[in-house]
Amino acid sequence: MRFDVLTLFPQMFEAVLGDSIIGRARENNILEMNFIDIRDFSTNKHRKVDDYPYSGGGGMLMNAQPVYDAYMSVAEGLDYKPFTIYMSPQGKVFNQGIAIDLANYEHIVLLCGHYEGIDQRVIDEIVDMELSVGDFVMTGGEIPAMTVIDTVSRLVPGVLAAETSYENESHFNGLLEYPQYTRPAVWHDKPIPDVLISGHHAKIEQWKREQSLINTLKKRPDMLEKAELTKEDIKFLKEYK
């Protein structure tokens, strides 16, 4: 899978996405990532990429021309249009479901805004989706773009050791993940649940499901309204409450 990021701060990405699981996937050519500096496409001798908005008010707006030319440096010559996402506080709020959909694309371009945003004309021309990472405003789209790349990348086959590494995680199936434990079996006089060392796989799986339901009920009850619950799940939750 290929990611191209259009940004004013390409150096920020390598520090975050050059190590650990994502870094290894890049080394193994499972993921390709290119960080394109929009300033390289400025026609201004000072590499200026912003100007005052016609609407007035405070702040500066990124010009359409350098953004478009940076995009065309990626898209020109391709026999398809790469799926292009603008990281914006006005966008749809990013979640696991969107990440799963995006993982089906072979090539994604992420556009990172700065200042008061980007000239709407270039957004209209190249952007397929606007995404936000939450109902708040950040100084730029770089950190949100990293969030999207990291979340989507780990869903790409081969990035994680096995699909089960993410299929049981929080949000993947509409519930929060069950609590997990490791050695020692007793720590600070607190033992792990007996079922986990029972060797009874069916009971362990039942315990995991029930603990996911409890975790979601306690921490994110709003998620239960959208989760696909079985009759057994509903019965368990009623008895637990």
- 3-state secondary structure at position 31: coil
How far apart are alpha carbons 194 and 7 in whole angstroms?
A: 51
**Backbone CA torsion sign across 145, 87, 161, 167:** positive
Is residue 127 annotated as involved in ligand binding? no
The Cα 142–Cα 211 span in angstroms is 36
Separation CA 78–CA 75 (nearest Å): 6
What are the Cα distances from residue 73, in Å, to 26, 34, 95, 113, 169? 21, 11, 29, 18, 37
User: Binding site annotation covers 137?
Assistant: yes
Q: Tokens for 4, please give them.
A: 């191209």
Is the bond into 193 cis (omega within 30 degrees of 0)? no
What's at 187, amino acid-wise?
A: W
Q: Is 41 annotated as a binding residue?
A: no
Q: List binding-site positions for S-adenosyl-L-methionine.
A: 113, 133-138
Which residues are annotated binding-site positions?
113, 133-138
